[in-house]
């Protein structure tokens, strides 16, 4: 069972065991670590199985890719329009909130101008009761009147106009009695006496929480922070009076604003969690994370002046944000619940029309794509199936394709290949049968040849027969009768292979019969022609060289029928001679006994007779140069004191080294005879 497991399977098994052990014995965080590792590894294994079992087929891959090509653009277009509409709606809601807050600032400015036009505290107090009736709990109104002229950081307070010098901000510390101490530049240093100014009237809404600790009087409108509270309002000055009108920004105040829009506003203190990530803020809101809500989050950014932090005698400019929770269901209901003939109704009808127009096109495109994939993959599936059949040895399977394209051409080529392989297998079986028969024929032929070594009291002999094919057309033989004669011959049937081998076998039987009659070499050749000429075809002939050593006379008689010359090394003369008596090949039309000549040579101990076929002398090297008779004579002379077997081996080694390739382009046969 485990032999089929992959490495990842063993990892999953180990993680499973470690997860269970950590659950029972180890801390919770270690258990969670192993659990997540197990889940990730198991999912990876499932994806690998999915890819191997389902996506390994090209057809499935193309279908999935087609689905992806069709579905992905639709999906991304929908996502694009969704987020685009989300961004547009969110910006629209931000614009609504901005307009609400700006409209309040305009109203505050109008009210402040009315107050400043009165230039009378009592009248201002009486008039201040009117806006407070309509904005209970959050509205703060303060009045200031300056009664002293005091040096102030690069400028003076003009008691006649009630405003600071050019380019300066008036900052005052108020106590509970409503008086203000105005510090001079450098504090209470010598030469600058601290002078007191006071407010002739301070009015504040009784339910408001506007602090009486620190205030910067300047022309300003917007958001500002004072004593860790956020306000939204205006500060205006005119002559001796200054007016501040501001709303305290709190969650209750923002909830009141939400009643006139399609969003809710969540208050966030600008200094609490200023660097909090958006996702953390969203996930911490239970209303946003609820499955039953349709709210989507967005942020409303604003800038405010922080009067608690002065930089170069001016309040610092900071930024903050509210979390907008946009109710898309409410917007959707508004859009789709409009009456007949309205602009929204026309837009809805236009959207439905676009869907009706484009949906059939998408469906039709998908259908066409699926059909194309099916046509392509059907042929590929057929080819895959055919390949599997061929692997299993079934070469009768044929692919049927009707696509009339390259795939059909590929299928037809596959069918031709399968048929060709089938024919090749039949031919291979036939070839194996023939090779087996040739192997048997070669073994029979080798049994027809005598042993390749022979030794007597007066002679030693070594022979070689190497076929170019499985069986050879070359033939060597020798016959010995003690104290009488030793006959040896080398024959070469034209051509090679089986036909030459058959003629060689016929020649072997004839020679075995004729040598018993103790006829001369020339008569032997003539008799062979007389018997074989009728059986040889017109293009076949046999060359042969025969030597008969007459032991009592210490001479040998040599006769040749169109064969290569014999090489005779004389130990006394230290020379290697070429012997080639006249003669015509057996089977030729112009053959006659008179054309077969004999020569007689006296031999002595140490003499060497070398008979060979042209398969040795015509061996080629890589430069197409033949080994030639000259090299053969040199080898014999250089090894004249060696035995016949050693000379044979030297000759073979030189032939192999000279050719540097196959030495048996033709049948190779030779006999080395050395006189003792």
Residue 584 has pLDDT above 90, yes or no: yes
Under a CB-based contact definition with an 8 Å cutoff, are residues 185 and 165 in contact?
no
The packing angle between helices 328-336 and 343-391, to 10°, is 110
pLDDT, mean of residues 351-364 = 80
Average pLDDT over residues 22-42: 87
Under 8 Å between Cβ of 465 and 449: yes
pLDDT surpasses 60 at 524: yes
Residues 514-535, mean pLDDT to the nearest whole number: 88
Please report which confidence band the pLDDT of residue 173 belongs to, taking 50, 70 and 90 as the band edges. Answer: very low
| pLDDT reported for residue 367 | 76
Select the more confidently predicted residue: 541 or 49. Answer: 541
Pairing between β-strand 139-145 and β-strand 459-466 as defined by DSSP bridges: unpaired
User: 45-54, 271-280, 525-534 — which is least confidently predicted?
Assistant: 271-280
Residue 419 pLDDT: 78
Please state the φ and ψ torsions of residue 446, each to the nearest 5 degrees: -65, -30
Contact 485, 516 (CB under 8 A): no
In this prediction, residue 60 carries a pLDDT of 65
pLDDT surpasses 50 at 110: yes
pLDDT of res. 488:
95
Instruction: Find the angle CA(605)-CA(606)-CA(607) to the nearest 5 degrees.
Output: 95
Helix H or strand E segment including 422: helix 406-448
| Better-predicted residue by pLDDT, 569 or 427 | 569
| Helix 628-638 and helix 644-659, axial crossing angle in degrees, nearest 10 | 140
- Cβ within 8 Å of residue 196, ≥6 positions away: 148, 179, 180, 181, 182
> Among candidates 42, 54, 53, which has minimal Cα distance to 12?
42
- pLDDT at position 406 is 64
- Going by their DSSP bridges, the two strands 295-311 and 220-226 should be labelled as parallel
- Cα torsion 629, 527, 556, 459 to 10°: value is 80
Tokens 């024919």, located at residue: 423
Question: In the prediction, which pLDDT does 562 show?
Answer: 92
pLDDT at residue 382 greater than cutoff 80? no
pLDDT at 202 over 80: no
The CA distance from 635 to 440, in Å, is: 35
Q: Could you tell me how far CA 51 lies from the centroid of its own chain?
A: 15
Predicted confidence at residue 217, as pLDDT, reads 57
* Helical (H) or strand (E) element with 549: strand 542-550
Q: For residue 167, which of 219, 122, 210 has the smallest C-alpha distance?
A: 219
For 214, other C-beta atoms within 10 Å of its C-beta total 14
Least confident of 266-280, 325-339, 408-422: 266-280
The pLDDT of residue 203: 41
User: What mean pLDDT do residues 15-26 have?
Assistant: 86
Confidence of residue 25 (pLDDT cuts 50, 70, 90): confident
pTM > 0.75: no
Q: Kindly state the average pLDDT of the residues 345-368.
A: 77
Cα–Cα distance measured from residue 509 to residue 34, given in angstroms and rounded to the nearest whole number: 90
Q: Which of the two residues, 405 and 622, has the higher pLDDT score?
A: 622
- Which one is predicted more confidently, 325 or 165? 325
pLDDT at 175 over 70: no
**Half-sphere exposure in the Cβ direction for 292 (13 Å, CA):** 1
The whole-number pLDDT of residue 115 equals 86
At residue 623, does pLDDT exceed 80? yes
494 and 473 in contact (C-beta within 8 Å)?
Answer: yes
CA-to-CA distance for 508 and 76, rounded, in angstroms? 92
- Residue 478 has a pLDDT of 94
Lowest mean pLDDT among 118-132, 157-171, 409-423, 458-472: 157-171
Residue 148: predicted pLDDT: 42
Average pLDDT over residues 657-663: 72
The arithmetic mean of pLDDT across residues 591-606, rounded, is 93
What is the CA angle 471-475-477, rounded to 5?
A: 135
Question: Cβ–Cβ contacts within 10 Å for residue 47, how many?
Answer: 11
Instruction: Classify burial at 605, counting beta carbons within 10 Å of its beta carbon; exposed 0-12, middle 13-18, buried 19 or more.
Output: exposed
The pLDDT-based confidence of 22 (bands split at 50, 70, 90) is confident
pLDDT band at residue 92 under the 50/70/90 scheme: confident
> What pLDDT, on a 0 to 100 scale, did the predictor assign at position 610?
97
pLDDT over threshold 70, residue 216:
no
User: 23-26 — which CB contacts under 8 Å span 24+ positions?
Assistant: none
CB proximity list for 509: less than 8 A, separation 6 or greater: none
- The per-residue pLDDT of the chain, averaged, comes to 77
Beta strands in 157-228 (DSSP E): 170-174, 179-182, 195-198, 214-217, 220-226
Handedness of CA 119, 122, 127, 128 (dihedral sign): positive
Distance CA 71, CA 398 (A): 37
Q: Could you tell me where the DSSP H helices lie in 6-118?
A: 7-25, 28-53, 58-118
Percent of the chain scoring above 70 in pLDDT: 75
Model confidence at 558, in pLDDT bands (50, 70, 90)?
very high
Model confidence at 585, pLDDT cuts 50, 70, 90, reads very high
Residue from 581, 580, 583 nearest 593 by CA = 583
Stretch among 249-263, 401-415, 501-515 having the lowest mean pLDDT: 401-415
Range in 288-292, 589-593, 594-598, 603-607 with the lowest mean pLDDT: 288-292
CB 299 within 8 A of CB 322: yes
pLDDT at 425: 80
Q: Is 669 strand, coil or helix?
A: strand
- 548-576: burial string, b at 16+ Cβ within 10 Å, e else: bbebeeeebbbbbbbbbbbbbbbbeeeeb
Average the pLDDT over 420-445 and give the result: 80
Is residue 61 a contact partner of residue 55, using CB atoms and an 8 Å limit? yes
**pLDDT surpassing 70 at residue 177:** no
């Amino acid at each position: 069972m485990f032999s089929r497991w992959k490495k990842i399977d063993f990892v999953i098994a180990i993680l499973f065991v470690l997860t269970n052990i950590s659950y029972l014995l180890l801390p919770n965080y270690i258990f969670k670590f192993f659990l997540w590792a197990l889940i990730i590894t198991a999912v990876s294994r499932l994806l690998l199985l999915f890819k191997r079992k389902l996506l390994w087929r090209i057809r499935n891959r193309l279908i999935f890719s087609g689905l992806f090509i069709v579905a992905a653009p639709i999906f991304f277009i929908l996502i694009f329009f969704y987020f685009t509409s989300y961004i547009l709606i969110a910006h629209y809601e931000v614009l609504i909130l901005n307009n609400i807050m700006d409209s309040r600032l305009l109203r505050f400015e109008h009210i402040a101008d009315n107050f400043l036009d009165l230039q009378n505290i009592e009248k201002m107090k009486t008039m201040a009761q009117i806006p407070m009736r309509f904005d209970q709990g959050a509205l703060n109104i303060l009045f200031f009147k300056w009664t002293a002229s005091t040096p102030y950081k690069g400028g003076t307070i003009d008691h006649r106009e009630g405003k600071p010098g050019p380019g300066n901000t008036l900052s005052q510390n108020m106590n509970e009695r409503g008086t203000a101490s105005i510090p001079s530049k450098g504090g209470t240093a010598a030469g600058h006496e601290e002078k007191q100014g006071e407010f002739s009237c301070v009015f504040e809404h009784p339910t408001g929480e506007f602090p009486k600790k620190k205030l910067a009087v300047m022309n300003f409108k917007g958001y500002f922070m004072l004593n860790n509270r956020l306000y939204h309002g205006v500060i205006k000055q005119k002559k001796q009076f200054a007016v501040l009108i501001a709303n305290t920004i709190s969650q209750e105040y923002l909830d009141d604003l939400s009643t006139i829009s399609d969003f809710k506003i969540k208050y966030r203190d600008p200094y609490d969690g200023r660097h909090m990530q958006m996702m953390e803020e969203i996930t911490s809101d239970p209303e946003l994370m609820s499955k039953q809500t349709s709210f989507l989050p967005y942020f409303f950014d604003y800038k405010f002046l922080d009067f608690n932090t002065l930089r170069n005698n001016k309040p610092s400019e900071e930024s903050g944000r509210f979390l907008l929770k946009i109710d898309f269901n409410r917007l959707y209901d508004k859009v789709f619940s409009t009456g007949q003939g309205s602009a929204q109704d026309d837009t809805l009808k236009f959207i439905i029309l676009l869907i009706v127009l484009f949906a059939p096109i998408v469906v039709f495109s998908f259908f066409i794509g699926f059909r194309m994939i099916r046509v392509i993959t059907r042929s590929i599936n057929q080819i895959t199936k055919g390949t599997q059949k061929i692997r299993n040895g079934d070469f009768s399977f044929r692919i049927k394709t009707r696509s009339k394209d390259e795939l059909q051409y590929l299928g037809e080529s596959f069918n031709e290949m399968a048929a060709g392989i089938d024919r090749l297998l039949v031919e291979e079986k036939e070839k194996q049968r023939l090779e087996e028969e040739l192997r048997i024929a070669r073994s029979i032929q080798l049994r027809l040849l005598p042993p390749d070594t022979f030794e007597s009291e007066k002679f030693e002999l070594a022979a070689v027969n190497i076929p170019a094919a499985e069986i050879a057309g070359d033939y060597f033989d020798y016959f010995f009768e003690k104290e009488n004669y030793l006959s040896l011959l080398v024959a070469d049937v034209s051509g090679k292979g089986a036909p030459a081998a058959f003629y060689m076998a016929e020649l072997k039987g004839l020679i075995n019969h004729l040598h018993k009659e103790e006829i001369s070499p020339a008569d032997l050749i003539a008799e062979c022609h007389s018997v074989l000429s009728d059986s040889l075809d017109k293009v076949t002939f046999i060359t042969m060289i025969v030597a008969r050593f007459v032991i009592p006379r210490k001479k040998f008689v040599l006769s040749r029928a169109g064969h290569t010359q014999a090489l005779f090394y004389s130990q006394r003369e230290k020379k290697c001679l070429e012997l080639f008596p006249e003669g015509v090949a057996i089977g030729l039309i112009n053959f006659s006994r008179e054309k077969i000549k004999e020569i007689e040579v006296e031999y002595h101990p140490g003499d060497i007779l070398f008979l060979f076929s042209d398969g040795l002398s015509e061996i080629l090297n890589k430069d197409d140069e033949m080994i030639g008779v000259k090299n053969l004579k040199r080898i014999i002379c250089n090894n004249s004191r060696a035995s016949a077997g050693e000379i044979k081996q030297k000759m073979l080694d030189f032939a192999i080294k000279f050719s540097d390739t196959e030495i048996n382009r033709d049948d190779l046969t030779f006999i080395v005879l050395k006189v003792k």
